[in-house]
Amino acid sequence: MDRQNKPSHRLCIAPMLNRTDRHYRYLARLLTKHSLLYTEMITTGALLHHDHRRRLKFDPCEHPVALQLGGSCPDEMAQCAEYATEYGYDEINLNVGCPSNRVQAGKFGACLMLEPRTVAHCVKAIRAATHIEVSVKTRLGVDNHDSYQNLHHFVETVASEGCMTFIIHARKAFLKGLSPKENRTVPPLCYEFVYRLKQDFQDLEIILNGGIHTRVAVLEHLGKVNGVMIGRKAYEDPYFIAEVDTMLFDSGTNSRHEVLKKYIRYMRQQQHEGVPLSTLTRHLPGLFHGVPGARAWRKCLLSNAGKNGAGIEAVYRAESLLAYHR
């Protein structure tokens, strides 16, 4: 089956559970024109046994956008790949990095680093079912299986079935003893393993994820790998990705207030379709991060947008607290 054109991975916005829903991705696209956006992880079971239409819909402006799947059954992956094709996703990404107990119980996420052949079979099934490119997001290793040799073997095995893009969170995962939140910060970063992968697999796209909080760090990593994936920083300080987009692609970007103006139009439309205001505004508190008045903006927004019957005026009220600081 012919592959479609691969999206660029030079700048990616990480899949984040309870964060990167379609509303956040709409906001992100107002900030960054060139990045590849990712959905939250969606399990194959959730798509196959529930309303996949509701879970897969997205605004066309989000392109390029990747669907991240959690699962370990090749047949289920193939079916979900067909759904992804139907809805027009630009990439399918396998989650081989999440260490939560719930994910482990379902036999997917980081525990699959111990089963590279299973991941390879999933890649093979997806590639047979669709023309969409497939990528794998993983860790450096799990528990005491954290040697470079183990990581090399995992990538080599999965790549043998046609996966050409690996997104590496540059920490190992502890399957027991740490919460998912702690697993994002406690295991030490080891960028050298990721750099070494790129040296050993010149034909693969190696994307680095983890601990990227400055534009200087972005440039340093891009000197050694094909792309960077930005996670919590992109959510807590969304305008950072606008600055990175401009730096990497020499593109203009909207001001924070212009972004808010356009997102308000989107919120009005979504409210007409029945989406609660609080669902839409929960991605906004960090938009003015570092700007004078940002604390007052956040406090006012969080205090008022969730009230029963709250309308867009709650957002304007919060924005007015920034007016003196423009």
The CA dihedral of 232, 27, 31, 64, to the nearest 10 degrees, is 90
Taking alpha carbons only, the member of 270, 281, 279 closest to residue 314 is 281
- Nearest-angstrom CA–CA distance, 114 and 142: 8
CB count, 10 Å around CB of 282? 18
- Nearest-angstrom CA–CA distance, 229 and 96: 15
Contact (Cβ atoms closer than 8 angstroms) between residue 120 and residue 91: no
Taking alpha carbons only, the member of 71, 114, 128 closest to residue 94 is 71
DSSP 142-159: BTTB--HHHHHHHHHHHH
What's 173's DSSP letter? B
- What are the phi and psi torsion angles at 231 (to 5°)? -110, -105
Taking alpha carbons only, the member of 239, 165, 178, 249 closest to residue 209 is 165
Query: Does the CA dihedral 154-155-156-159 come out positive or negative?
Result: positive
* Catalytic positions: 98
Taking alpha carbons only, the member of 95, 65, 68 closest to residue 81 is 68
